[in-house]
């Protein structure tokens, strides 16, 4: 556990459900102060209640990652309440049911890229000055195996945005490792969350039972967050163990 003097501040985007929720709860149990951001205040409030019940500390901040002013306001709120953001877990994500070249619209393509790529870059851009000032910081991009290798059903926009997140990670580590800032491109296989409802063919109970869980992702993210400062975990790919 962390002492009060060294309590790290973790900003989790997409914290109201799924992987973001699990990441926030796990980090709070480890003694992190956790800033919960997302568009659905009721969902964030539910996560905050659980954090409080478990003896943790959280701050609820409404935010739309696709809106630069919203990101700026959220970051300033966290800094005003707690000071410098030391850790970030970027879990906010979007996909579309119409995800193939034959049925996607460019409007949906833009929305997906805005959330998954541009929104992530906006959050990172907002926290970097503070991290540079204190000389350390850890950023975890919750990406996908579709950002690591071709996944035929992930979708055009989703695959493009997640692949580009890999480039964000590389530039951060290439430019800022020497200043104590490190980034990880975390690429999970399919995770059993509500996000699956955006699939053209929604998986059933039997198929979901073979998938990764939000808690699996939370455990992996915590491993990255807690890694010694001299270690940079550039990219992690995790998939469920295949059945025989």
Which of 32, 100, 150, 158 does the annotation list as catalytic?
158
Rounded Cα–Cα distance for residues 147 and 194 (Å) = 20
Q: Compute φ and ψ for 18, nearest 5 degrees.
A: 55, -135
DSSP state of 94: -
Rounded Cα–Cα distance for residues 130 and 136 (Å) = 9
Smallest CA-to-CA distance from 8 within 79, 84, 120, 91 is with 84
Rounded Cα–Cα distance for residues 168 and 123 (Å) = 12
Sheet with 33-38, edge to edge strand ranges: 57-62, 33-38, 9-13, 87-90, 137-142, 181-188, 235-238
Tokens at residue 196, please? 């699956």
Smallest CA-to-CA distance from 81 within 62, 54, 63, 61 is with 61
Whether 194 and 18 have beta carbons less than 8 Å apart is answered as yes
Q: Quote the distance between the C-alpha of residue 10 and its chain's center.
A: 11
Catalytic residue flag (residue 32): no
Smallest CA-to-CA distance from 193 within 219, 213, 210, 209 is with 213
Give catalytic residues, as residue numbers: 158
């Amino acid at each position: 556990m962390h002492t009060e003097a060294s309590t790290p501040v973790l900003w989790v985007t997409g914290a109201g459900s799924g992987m973001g929720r699990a990441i926030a709860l796990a980090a709070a149990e480890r003694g992190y102060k956790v800033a919960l951001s997302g568009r659905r205040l009721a969902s964030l409030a539910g996560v905050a209640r659980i954090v409080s019940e478990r003896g943790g500390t959280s701050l609820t901040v409404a935010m739309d990652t696709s809106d630069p002013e919203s990101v700026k306001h959220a970051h300033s709120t966290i800094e005003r309440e707690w000071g410098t953001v030391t850790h970030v877990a970027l879990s906010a994500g979007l996909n579309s049911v119409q995800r193939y070249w034959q049925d996607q619209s460019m409007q949906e393509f833009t929305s997906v890229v805005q959330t998954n790529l541009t929104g992530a870059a906006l959050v990172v851009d907002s926290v970097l000055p503070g991290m540079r000032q204190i000389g350390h910081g850890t950023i975890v991009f919750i990406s996908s195996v579709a950002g690591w290798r071709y996944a035929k059903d992930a979708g055009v926009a989703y695959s493009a945005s997640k692949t580009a997140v890999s480039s964000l990670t590389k530039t951060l580590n290439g430019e800022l490792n020497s200043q104590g800032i490190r980034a990880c491109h975390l690429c999970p296989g399919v995770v059993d969350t509500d996000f699956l409802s955006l699939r053209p063919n929604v998986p059933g109970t039997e198929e979901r039972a073979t998938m990764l869980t939000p808690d699996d992702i939370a455990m992996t993210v915590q491993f990255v967050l807690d890694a010694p400062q001299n270690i940079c975990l550039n990219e992690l790919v995790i998939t469920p163990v295949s059945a025989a």
